[in-house]
Every structure is written in C-alpha cells, then in structure tokens.
Structure 1
Amino acid sequence: MPITTLGFDADDTLWHNESVFHLTEERFAALLADHADKARLQEQLLAAERRNLKHYGYGIKGFVLSMIETALEVTEGKAPGAVISQILDAGRDMMTHPVEPLPHVTETLSVLKDDYRLVLITKGDLFDQERKIAESGLADWFDAIEIVSEKSAATYRTLFARHGSGPSEALMTGNSVKSDILPALEAGSIGVHVPYAITWGLERAEAPANHDRFHRLDHIGKLPELLTRLGQDGMWS
C-alpha cells in the first residue's frame, strides 16, 4: 500500500515547547525553595499533573493549576499570595512565549508538500494550540489541522480516514513514543520517532524497537530520505 498521508505532531516535533515548561518549573522550584527541595517538588508537581489531566486536560492552564495545587500542598495551605501571583505571572509568560520552529522543519514540509497529504495532529488547550500554530508560520503547509483532547489508536484511525486513505497508508511523525508512535502503530500506520531533548514525565514510554513499522530519526530533516528508502525497499511497491 502506498503512503499517501503524513501526520505530524506539533509540540516538540515542529517547534520548541517542553523547554518552556522546563524553564517555568525551574522558576517554580526557586519560588518554593524554602518549603521543599527541588526533587520533591518536581515529584509532587508531576503527581498533581497526572491527577488533574482528567479535569483540565493538557496544556499550560492545567500546568499552572497543578503548580498552585502543589504550592498549597508543600506549604500546608499557607502559600503566600505573592507566590500564587508569581505562579500566575509565569503562566501568562508561557502563553506569550515566542514560537520557534525546530531546525529542518520548514525545509522538510516544503519537500513533502507536493507528494503527500500533510496533516497536523496535536493535543492540548484549543486556544493555546491555535495561537502556536498561527505564530509558527507553518499552517499553510498542511492540508488539515486537528486539535484533539487525546491521541489514541481510534484518533489516528478516524483522522487518517477523514483526511487521507486510511491508517494503513499513513505515517505519523512525533517526539512522543506514548502519544505519537504507539497508538499510530496500533492503528496500522508507520510510526517515526524524532526525539526531543526533554520528555515530559507523563509522555515517557518504551520504544517498540523491534516493530517492523517503527523508525527513529535523529531529526525531522531525514524524513524524506526515509520515505524514499521505504519505497525502494518495496514497503509499498
């Protein structure tokens, strides 16, 4: 079956994102240094994020609320108003942080645009994801853009059928093994992992190294070469 459709994750695949969260977490740790050491604070913040996903979903707003909850926990409900105010300021700074595309992204999309249907598939807060897509300057490269609440095998089956010729003729590229690769493979697509320097704790998963439809690239600029190689190897001849 020929590959007709290419799906792309957005955050940390097309542009920097987790590094912004990491810097804010460092700022948060400094604010509460008198109440908890950094390791304990990170552990409690991650636990709060895990608990709150079902309530707030993914994105900056849920992260900020989880920071506030963690601040109240480690201070036994006595977090100063000034600390809460600075956490809110940090969240607003994140919401206005410049969107910086990763190396090779624009060139790769321009190479692939004429030969494949390109679909951007991202999850998170609708308002913030729309902002980042607009500010990235990459929207015009895509035939379709989908912002979803969660990425599952059913998500990929639905979207690759809606915007392509089905999951068996699609390839998904992303930095998260958990969200971009494993469910895409389960749906019947090819999964291409392009690691980012930082991985959020709730997105960590073991890569399916021996899976015949799994591939890992050093950077997204190698994707056209991989597609050519797969064609030459007869994967869809």
Structure 2
Amino acid sequence: MKQSTRIQILERLKDHIKDPTTELVYQTPFELLIAVVLSAQATDVSVNKATKPLFAVANTAEQILALGVNKLKDYIRTIGLYNSKAENIIKTCQILVDKYQGEVPENFDSLIALPGVGRKTANVVLNTAFGWPTIAVDTHIFRVSNRTGFAPGKTVEAVEEKLLKVVPKEYKINCHHWLILHGRYTCIARKPRCGSCVIEDLCEFKEKVYPE
C-alpha cells in the first residue's frame, strides 16, 4: 500500500470516529491497567459490568490487596479466565505497592514485567493513560491491518513494528483507537460491512462483502 493511501485512510477514520478512545470505563491509570488485564478474551462491556462494583470498593493497588484473591474473584467471576486473572492482579498489586508506591509505572519494560501484562496491555496503558504515541495491537487491529493491506504482518509483533514505522507521528496517539473501533464495528471478523465502510475504496481486501 502506498503511504499516500495510508494517510487517506487515517484521515477518513479521523473524520468518521469523532471520539477515539477506549470503551473501557476508568478514572486512573491503575483502573485502566486492571480493566485491560481483565479484557483479555473478554468484551469491554463485560469488563465494565465487573469493574463498576469492584472499583466502587477497591480502585487502588492497596485496596485490591486488602480484598484478597478470593473476594476479588467474586467481583470478576463473570469474566473469562477469572481465576488466573485474579491471581495475576493480586501479584501485580503487590509489586506496585512494593516497588512503585502503588502507582502504575510509566515505563514499557516495567509494565510488561507485571504478571498478566503483555505488550498489548502495556501499550494501551502508555497510550491511553499517559498519552504515549504507541500502537497496541489486539485481534481487531491485527485483522484490519492485514485485511486492508495497511500494515500486513504474520505476527502481532510484526504488525506493531510495521504500524509504528508507517503511521506518521501526528496520527500515532489515536491510531490504535481508530483501528480497533473500525475493526469492532465495521471490519468485523466473519462478515465485514464493506458496504458501509468509509475506507472501502482504499482497502486492498479482495473478498469484499456487500449487502444483497
């Protein structure tokens, strides 16, 4: 794909998606970190339903540690993999208290060293909570990047590297959210809504789907 085409795509997504932000509900970097950890293999809607009552009683590392793993599980048991996620969250909270005075470190290597935190989670927190020009790659972004030809790659890391290379600096803050929302609501996995897609004519996908 030509770079000029990528710019056109980003400009159209910019015009179409007026509020490019996460659909996870959070107030602090810590709340966002916990929500993103919980969102692995779960919908943002399900995470928000669980974190609303959880954050009402415990929204700091110290408070979640005080809850303990079993009470934490009671709040998040509607979310997939809640047992392992609860264990990781408790371990992460302990590290945050011991090493960072309960605060979320604004550092990629420090974040991915936390239990349950991978590249995607670290990049989401740095981008969304701290305003870093990073691009987290989840399943939606991986699909959109490959399907459209915008930033193809065989692995998540390859797509992330490509995106960071081809997306101009002025678009990097919002690019993650533009692509994820486009993938979530238009360029969906099984039957993309090509007929209502604002970048349909720029997309290189050869098997476009249109309403009958």
Q: If the length of structure 1 is used for normalisation, what is the TM-score?
A: 0.29
Greater helix share, 1 or 2?
2
Higher strand share: 1
Q: Which protein shows a greater Rg?
A: 1
Greater RCO, 1 or 2 (C-alpha within 8 Å, sep 6+)? 1
Normalised by the length of structure 2, the TM-score is: 0.31
